[in-house]
Amino acid sequence: MVLLRFAPSPTGALHLGGLRTALYNHLYAKKYRGKWILRIEDTDSTRYVPGAVEGIRAALEWTGLEYDYGPGRDGPHGPYYQSERLDLYRTYARRLLESGHAYRCFCSPDKLASTRERLARTGSNATYDKACLHLTEEEVVRRVRAGESSIVRFNDDRLPQRDAATDLVFGVLRDAHASLPTDPVLLKSDLFPTYHLASIVDDHEMGITHVLRGEEWLPSLPLHLDLYASLSLKPPQFAHLPILLNPDGTKMSKRKGNVSVLDFMRRGWEPEALLNWLALAGWGTQHDPNKKQILFGDSQAPDSTAVMTLPELVDQFDLSALTHRRNILDPAKLGYLNRHHLMRSWKNNEATACHAHRIRELVKSDFPTRYLRVSSSLTRSSMQPTIF
Ligand code: GLU
């Protein structure tokens, strides 16, 4: 059975890129009658935002993407918060230390900063001079016993033999270790893991078969595969999802404008239209203009805007159809899809009543009562509020 995971860090609201990742995990899991986990990657306390987990869960609930296991939905892989799994990461770090694939580094943050500067001045790509790699075992034991603070680094002088990195979207990749820091940190001095260690340990321990995540993690793939090989573990399959862009070609980010899912909810968009829009960004479903004109009388249909419900998306989802080009999210397409999702649902009385209620609430919140005037010339039975 396939088992996937969506693993956001609670560093803020769920944004469109994150929702697209959750959606593709859902589509893949459901298509192959598997399951998916919501895993909260909360090991960086400096970036933790209170209320973020609740926001992520509320956004997923609104869109109808139901995870099978995770916070509030216990299962065999828990706990689902990484901060509750710290012993596990320490055990794996110890294994890497014992096999020589990792080593303890006692350099202070100041010393590390000056080393980095010195290396940069000489034009080196290295970010660390591996000073602690050559400490004797006795020296390490002595310093640990003396209570000196240390971190655990991966030893990239001892890379294991392994297959080339293959990604289900990007294909076979040439390893680019040079783009990674020298001897990446696995365990910090507070004994909390870095993302790399926690992520590979959990994907293995939870039995994840497929990792679908944002393209920004593609440079980390060689390191993750090296870690699996160093631990003699079979890695899951990876699929990196191309970055989403704003209509002007700039990278979509939390810092630039309203990309939070809950903002789309507040502005009254149809959740299924939002999912439809995100699913098609990067997944070129053929648009059939003739069919739409006949069905909806709309000759303005933008390209690649097949109107699909969530079950239809599950049915047609195909990882091999994903492009590795960066994808522009065109708001005109969302408008188009939203109209058609509304029209579809209006064939159903219950959905129509539900929409009427939502529209009423939206009008009430956007136009406080002082903007509502009831015309006195109207009879009681035909009385309609006028909105200015
Ligand atoms: N916590 C990472 C993030 O929020 C997850 C990366 C992954 O899926 O491996 O982007």
Measuring from atom 2 of ligand 1, which residue has the nearest CA? 8
The H or E element that residue 342 is part of is: helix 331-345
Tokens of 267: 């502005």
Looking at the CA of residue 220, tell me the nearest atom of ligand 1: 9
How much distance in Å is there from the Cα of 211 to the middle of ligand 1?
10
- Whether 254 is catalytic is yes
Q: Which of 31, 130, 188, 254 is catalytic?
A: 254
Ligand 1: does its nearest atom lie under 6 Å from the Cβ of 59? no
How much distance in Å is there from the Cα of 168 to the middle of ligand 1?
17
Strand 151-154 versus strand 102-105 pairing type = antiparallel
Looking at the CA of residue 11, tell me the nearest atom of ligand 1: 4
CATH number for 87-195 (one of 3.40.109.10, 3.90.800.10, 3.40.50.300, 3.10.20.30): it is 3.90.800.10
Q: DSSP letters along 4-66, please?
A: EEE---SSS--BHHHHHHHHHHHHHHHHTT-EEEE-B----GGG--TTHHHHHHHHHHHHT--
Using only C-alpha atoms, the chain has a radius of gyration, in whole angstroms, of 26
Ligand 1: does its nearest atom lie under 6 Å from the Cβ of 202? no
Best probe residue, ligand 1, of 203, 217, 224 (max atoms within 8 Å of C-beta):
217
How much distance in Å is there from the Cα of 9 to the middle of ligand 1?
7
Q: Domain map of the chain by residue range?
A: 3-74+199-244, 87-195, 349-388
Ligand 1: does its nearest atom lie under 6 Å from the Cβ of 9? yes
3-class SS of residue 239? strand
Ligand 1: does its nearest atom lie under 6 Å from the Cβ of 17? no
Ligand 1: does its nearest atom lie under 6 Å from the Cβ of 8? yes
Walk along the chain (388 residues) and give the pLDDT tens digit of each residue. Answer: 999 999 999 999 999 999 999 999 999 999 999 999 999 999 998 999 999 999 999 999 999 999 999 999 999 999 999 999 999 999 999 999 999 999 999 999 999 999 999 999 999 989 999 999 999 999 999 999 999 999 999 999 999 999 999 999 999 988 766 678 999 999 999 999 999 999 999 999 999 999 999 999 999 999 999 999 999 999 999 999 998 888 777 877 655 666 899 999 998 899 999 999 999 887 754 445 454 443 334 433 335 678 999 999 999 888 888 877 888 888 999 999 999 999 888 777 777 787 788 778 778 777 766 666 554 444 444 434 333 3
Q: Are 250 and 221 in contact (CB under 8 A)?
A: no
3-class SS of residue 117? helix
CATH superfamily, domain 3-74+199-244, is HUPs (3.40.50.620)
Residue 286 C-alpha from the chain's centroid: 26
C-alpha dihedral, 28 to 42 to 224 to 15, nearest 10° = 50
Ligand 1: does its nearest atom lie under 6 Å from the Cβ of 220? no
d(CA 185, CA 132): 13
